Amino acid sequence: MIPLAIPHLGGREADYLQQCIESTFVSSVGPFVDRFEQQVAQAAGVAHGVAVATGTAGLHAALAALHVQRDDLVILPALTFIASANAIAYLGATPWIMDVDPLSWTLDPHVVEQALAQHSHWQGDRLIHTPSGRRIAAMMPVHVLGTPADMQRLIPIAQRYKLPVVADGAAALGAMAHGQAIGALGAELTVFSFNGNKTVTCGGGGAVVSHDAALIQRVRHLTTTARQGPGYDHDEVGFNYRMTNLQAAVGCAQMERLTELVGAKRRIRDRYADALGDLPGVTPFQAPSWAKSAWWFSGVVVDRPPQRQEHLRAQLRQLGVDARPFWKPIHQQAPYRNAPVSATPVVDGLWWQILTLPCSCGLTEQDQQRVIDGVRQVLKG
Ligand SMILES: *Cc1c(COP(=O)(O)O)cnc(C)c1O
């Protein structure tokens, strides 16, 4: 079976792990953590970063740092991994779920603008969601699949409504928009994941980056039990969300090869686009012309009935190709069935048509050809 996405640990990971063990720096203080934070911030195009235990923890801490509170709403696209919504829910807040753009699959600025114009009003300096009376506290665009959300249009809307922006860039390290790196597109905070299936992995891990040193300091404070100084004084309810030196050791070795790893993802996606674009009812993953996606995942949109979709996946598995469905929208998930949601025609028509294909950085040309041949065989009719 050609797997969907497995890590590519072809650098100095083992060497750096050995250094951790010999130095006894295996826990959350250590030179690899500092180095990793600098590498990630630099790659994201900003000056400051803090490494954390997971991407989800990073999202939680980022929203907390921007003072999202119980009963607040946070604008969130319907098409994302459940972790984005969970981070909002951990704070007692609720996602306000909105539709995505049909090309990029990221939060649609037009939809956000309309929803805010029609369903919000000011109460002093509080922006209120008119139907529920709740405060609207933040906006969380998601750089889906490593394709940047349209921040050039989203940021002015956020500014007009005084909403801080946390970008879920979990899989988007290495992506660019209008020639700018992914952390420098106007979000107050951008969050990455280094989970095992991401392009760059620490086994598990995350990072929060920003141009704003004070804000990153606040995230760091919250993720280190809100401890003040060397004694046991804590000034608020913090979290133990630190990354360990062991995780960072793997991460540092991976970051040294970021260009190579993201380059491999882009080549894989381009090859699928070239080899499968002519099949009827099949559209390879697309991105807007101004975006340079990091192409965490590759695949095709297959315009066939949902039952046949299942059948296609089963047939591909029989040919040794691990093809999988993609995220089910947030408003269809049990914990978020009662969350406010704007009309979502794009995501409702799209999500079940998405078929992700093997795209490990180490996928050989030969194996990719096997996937292409298999997909052509199964989808030609
Ligand atoms: C992977 C991912 C996350 C979660 O990151 P973890 O490190 O697994 O907690 C969150 N959001 C998106 C969009 C992701 O792809």
Provide the CATH number for the domain around residue 301.
Answer: 3.90.1150.10
CA 120 to chain centre: 27
Whether residue 214 sits in one domain with residue 148 = yes
Whether residue 289 sits in one domain with residue 223 = no
CA 228 to chain centre: 31
Give the domain-ending residue among 230, 254, 278: 254
- What pLDDT, on the 0 to 100 scale, is given for residue 35? 98
* 198 noted as active-site residue: yes
Q: For ligand 1, what atom is nearest to the CA of residue 143?
A: 13
Say which amino acid occupies 57: A
Whether residue 24 sits in one domain with residue 155 = yes
Whether residue 300 sits in one domain with residue 365 = yes
**Sign of the C-alpha dihedral computed for residues 162, 223, 232 and 248 taken in this order:** negative
- What pLDDT, on the 0 to 100 scale, is given for residue 304? 84
Give the domain-ending residue among 239, 254, 269: 254
Model confidence band, residue 309 (pLDDT cutoffs 50, 70, 90): confident
Q: For ligand 1, what atom is nearest to the CA of residue 204?
A: 7
- What pLDDT, on the 0 to 100 scale, is given for residue 381? 62
SS3 164: coil
Q: Which residue owns the Cα nearest ligand 1 atom 5?
A: 55
CA of 326 to the centre of ligand 1 (A): 13
The length of the chain, given as a count of residues? 381
Q: From the CB of 245, is ligand 1 less than 6 Å away?
A: no
Model confidence band, residue 228 (pLDDT cutoffs 50, 70, 90): very high
Q: From the CB of 83, is ligand 1 less than 6 Å away?
A: yes
Whether residue 91 sits in one domain with residue 149 = yes
Which DSSP letter does residue 291 get? E
Model confidence band, residue 343 (pLDDT cutoffs 50, 70, 90): confident
Model confidence band, residue 325 (pLDDT cutoffs 50, 70, 90): very high
Whether residue 264 sits in one domain with residue 128 = no
Does residue 2 lie in a domain region? no
Residue 58 in contact with residue 76, Cβ under 8 Å?
no
Task: Point out which residues pair with 77 in neighbouring strands.
Answer: 98
Model confidence band, residue 191 (pLDDT cutoffs 50, 70, 90): very high
Q: Please state, in angstroms and rounded to a whole number, the distance separating the CA atoms of residues 114 and 109.
A: 9
Q: 96 CB contacts (<8 Å, ≥6 apart)?
A: 73, 74, 75, 76, 115, 129, 136, 339, 340, 341, 342
SS3 46: coil
Query: What is the per-residue pLDDT across 250-289, written as a single tens digit (0 to 9) for each?
Result: 999 999 999 999 999 999 999 999 999 999 899 999 999 9
Mean of pLDDT values over 303-323: 89
Provide the CATH number for the domain around residue 158.
Answer: 3.40.640.10
Does residue 4 lie in a domain region? no
Query: What is the per-residue pLDDT across 281-296, written as a single tens digit (0 to 9) for each?
Result: 999 999 999 999 999 9
- The percentage of residues in the chain with a pLDDT greater than 70, rounded to a whole number, is 100
CA of 234 to the centre of ligand 1 (A): 29
Q: From the CB of 170, is ligand 1 less than 6 Å away?
A: yes
Whether residue 275 sits in one domain with residue 223 = no
Q: Which domain holds residue 92?
A: 12-254
Give the domain-ending residue among 198, 233, 254: 254
Q: Give rounded-to-5 percent helix, strand, coil for the chain.
A: 40, 20, 40
Instruction: Write b or e for each residue in 256-290: b if 16 or more Cβ atoms lie within 10 A of its Cβ, otherwise e.
Output: ebbeebbebbbbbbebbbebbeebeebebbbbeee
Alpha-helical runs (H) found in the chain: 13-23, 31-44, 55-65, 82-90, 109-119, 151-160, 213-223, 245-255, 258-276, 306-318, 345-350, 365-379
Whether residue 236 sits in one domain with residue 113 = yes
If one counts the domains in the chain, the total is: 2
Q: From the CB of 192, is ligand 1 less than 6 Å away?
A: no
Whether residue 125 sits in one domain with residue 87 = yes
**Does the structure show a pLDDT above 90 at 308?**
no
pTM higher than 0.85:
yes
Mean of pLDDT values over 122-134: 97
Mean of pLDDT values over 348-362: 96
Ligand 1 probe mutation, 74, 144, 193, most atoms within 8 A of CB: 193
CA of 231 to the centre of ligand 1 (A): 34
- What pLDDT, on the 0 to 100 scale, is given for residue 248? 98
**Does the structure show a pLDDT above 70 at 24?**
yes
Residue showing tokens 């249009």: 153
- What pLDDT, on the 0 to 100 scale, is given for residue 229? 87
Whether residue 108 sits in one domain with residue 55 = yes
Whether residue 318 sits in one domain with residue 245 = no
CA of 232 to the centre of ligand 1 (A): 32
Instruction: Give the CA count within 13 Å in the CB-facing half-sphere of 55.
Output: 28
